[in-house]
Chain A
Amino acid sequence: MRIAILTYLYNEMISYVYELFPNLNKLNYLDQKKSLIIISEFGLRVGKVLWKSKKFQ
């Protein structure tokens, strides 16, 4: 089963990610993705657990 999650980050969350990773825009797609999963927001967390479970992409 392939699950796609479309989510939205609050501006404050985005500012927080940029605080931690000031060069975020320069990172490649995968590294940007890894940086974003520090956020505790529903879509990203569920996505991370699914991804870690390996059964789902």
Chain B
Amino acid sequence: MTIPTNMPYFLRKWAEENGSKHTEKNQIIVEMLKKFLPDIFLYDLHYDDLFDQIKANLNTIKMVVLWKGSPPVNMEIFKKVDLTISCAPEEVKSLRGMGFKIEHLHHAFNKNILNGQLQANKEFELIFIGQIYRAIGFHTDRDRMLKQIVKEMEINVFSPSYELGFSDFLYHLVKKSALTLPLPFYFISDKFSNKYSIKLEKAREYPFFPYSLKFKKSLHPAGYEKKMYDVIRSSKDVLNIHADSSPQFAFNMKLFETTGVGSCLLTDWKENINQLFEEDEEIVTYRSPEECVQKAKWLLANSKERGIIAKKGQQRTFASHLYEHRVPEFLSIIKKHLE
């Protein structure tokens, strides 16, 4: 049973068809679960009241599992679940080090997306799709890379950052100033307050602007689902830059989305990349902005080779990186921990 918890009409319809008197979201969800009586409960949400309500009301559950991506969450939840499954190897390493039960499972590609009519014409040369927020710990590498690339070649960047306006930039500037200006005061009074290093770190992490204005002209509005896959499919090269939270390992969705729709992936080199794809056969990797530009240009100039790499990348994704491959892995993780 899958419950999208923030679709109120979906929940109300269930309540209506099942004779429930509840109208409040959490109460309906708890009632749905009470009827279903799950053995395993996979929580793909942030920690909130709902989690506690479910745990208090359902004592038949044998195991509570948390699915966690890369972004930081309230650490409290790790103490309340039996097992965490994460797509981010860095998270797995760090949480395991803290003594939590955690296993790794990669993202995957939804092949059904190809059943719809995806755009076939190659309209764009090099593109990047994703969030860009240049605060430390988020996307400083992305911001730096894109700034370098626009100096050398054309790139189309599809990002929610496109929507940010003057007020967002002003807000960042004001907040950065508010964090930075009192630093001398904290430095002088550090003997008494010990707050200087914390305040300095906060001021350092916060960006002047949400992204560099140097690639503003390359920005386009973000697309989601079919619209996003259409853009990937209609691009010759798709650039991937992992978030700051994954300096060591490759694991983001773009690896599988790009290769899955049959476009050529140019991704940042990580130490596990060859476990996922054959480097320079099924995908292309780079280790520096200079290498990225050089390889992007080469791929654009060599359409035959680019097509072969894209085809092999897609074959690899179909053979190893579909949800049909991940679900048996997911079940064997569950079974291992149930025993």
Chain A residues within CB distance 8 Å of chain B: 1-10, 12-16, 24-25, 27-29, 32-33, 36, 38-40, 42-51, 53, 57
Contact = CB atoms under 8 A, between A and B. Distances in A.
Contacts, number: 124
A7 B224 CA distance: 18
Contact of A2 (B14, B40, B225, B226): B40
A14 B7 contact: yes
A37 to B, nearest CB: 8
B29 A16 contact: no
A7 B44 contact: yes
A40 B110 contact: yes
Given A16-B225, A40-B110, A6 B9 contact: no
Contacts of B4: 7-9, 36, 43-44
Interface stretch (B166-174, B294-302, B304-312, B322-330): B322-330
B224 A4 contact: no
A44 B2 contact: yes
Contacts of A42: 44, 67, 107
Contact of A24 (B6, B9, B14): B9
A45 to B, nearest CB: 4
Interface residues of B, number: 45
A7 B45 contact: yes
Given A7-B44, A8-B44, A43-B42, A2 B3 contact: no
A6 B45 contact: yes
B77 interface: no
A46 B12 CA distance: 23
Contacts of B54: 6
B5 interface: yes
B113 interface: yes
A28 B225 contact: no
